[in-house]
Amino acid sequence: MQEEISKWFETAGRQLGYPLAAVAGRWVVEHPDDLARGDYAANIALVLGKELKKNPMEIAEKIADKLKASPLEFPKPRPWLERVEVAAPGFINFFLSRGYFTSALRQILEQGDLYGRGVAEEGKKVLVEYTDPNPFKEFHLGHLMSNTIGESISRLIEAQGAEVKRACYQGDVGLHVAKAIWGNLKLKVKSVKQWGEAYVIGAQAYENDEVAKQEINEFNKKVYEKSDEEINKIYDVGKKASLDYFETIYKRLGTKFDYYFFESEISSLGKKLVEENTGQIFESSDGAVIFRGEKYNLHTRVFLNSEGLPTYEAKELGLAKIKFERYPYDESVVITGNE
């Protein structure tokens, strides 16, 4: 409907001799904030008024009169349109007819779940990654936002004929895990909520206590290496409790993932990719391995830290590779925070 109304304006504007090329991209047809002012509103007269230094109300009246005028230039019948009005300071408002809405509702009821579906993505394989909560931490509003956006996008792409697979990528190794396990030893965790509290205790200690920081760094290495029986046991219990908890939330949200990717399974692959390309893409620096981004108008990032452990960036390399191996997609969509 917006496209059809826009075309009407273009036709009317040309016939009235207005310089539409000069204002291309600057005027829009959209829903007004107050629907009492119409179902659609256009600011074309305001834009033309500024360009021509003329009264936008006069321009709006001329365009509206043109739209309401010749049935030869704007063919009738137009059962979807009830009326066109001009409103200060120069908006042109369109009111759709009750018949239009009745027809649309009838079509929705008749087509049911098929309504609005198309074929624009037919034959494509699309992988959508979203939500991505980390075990050992609480599910928060940011995860809910990612889930809502990701699930909506997944359904929209499916409605256009694509095969969509849903993926969730979770950080089950790393400093946050070590901090939570360290905090667990102080708190003696008995619930999922307490795992979140244990993480906070560990995070605060890491920042304020040098001895605790060294202990947490050791825990981090042991989690990667799976070299400590007691830590392994705490880790397994905490991870299972977190994942079971997340599943109860997904069920409430109506999300069912096809693939779960974990940092623990892709970190070694990411590390291997960095090591294999050190000297070509990556370089050694103060005991770490980095990507010198300034050469490419980016910024420098650490991919392997001074202890030889892969950072978030290195893990993303492993994730990209394993995603495509698991599901050879045509398009990949990742829902993430802009930071």
User: What is the pLDDT, as a whole number, of residue 216?
Assistant: 95
Answer with the residue of higher pLDDT: 277 or 2. 277
User: What is the pLDDT, as a whole number, of residue 293?
Assistant: 94
User: What is the pLDDT, as a whole number, of residue 67?
Assistant: 84
57 and 43 Cβ atoms separated by less than 8 Å: no
259-290 residue pLDDT tens: 999 999 999 999 999 999 999 999 999 999 99
For residue 221, pLDDT over 50 is answered with yes
Q: How confident is the model at residue 193 (pLDDT cuts 50, 70, 90)?
A: confident
User: What is the pLDDT, as a whole number, of residue 11?
Assistant: 87
Query: What is the rounded average pLDDT for all residues in the chain?
Result: 92
135-164 residue pLDDT tens: 998 899 999 999 999 999 999 999 999 999
3-class DSSP state of 57: helix
Q: Which position has the token pair 């030869």?
A: 72
CA separation, residue 262 to residues 101, 173, 319 (Å): 48, 8, 9
CA atoms within 13 A on the CB side of 313: 13
User: DSSP of 86-133, one letter per residue?
Assistant: EETTTEEEEEE-HHHHHHHHHHHHHHGGGTT---TTTT-EEEEE---P
User: What is the pLDDT, as a whole number, of residue 76?
Assistant: 52
State what percent of residues in the chain have pLDDT above 70.
97
36-77 residue pLDDT tens: 889 999 999 999 999 999 999 999 999 999 888 755 455 455
For residue 187, pLDDT over 80 is answered with yes
Q: Which position has the token pair 């939500």?
A: 131
157-184 residue pLDDT tens: 999 999 999 999 999 998 999 999 999 9
Question: What is the average pLDDT across 248-257?
Answer: 96
Comparing 74-83, 257-266, 327-336, the range with the smallest average pLDDT is 74-83
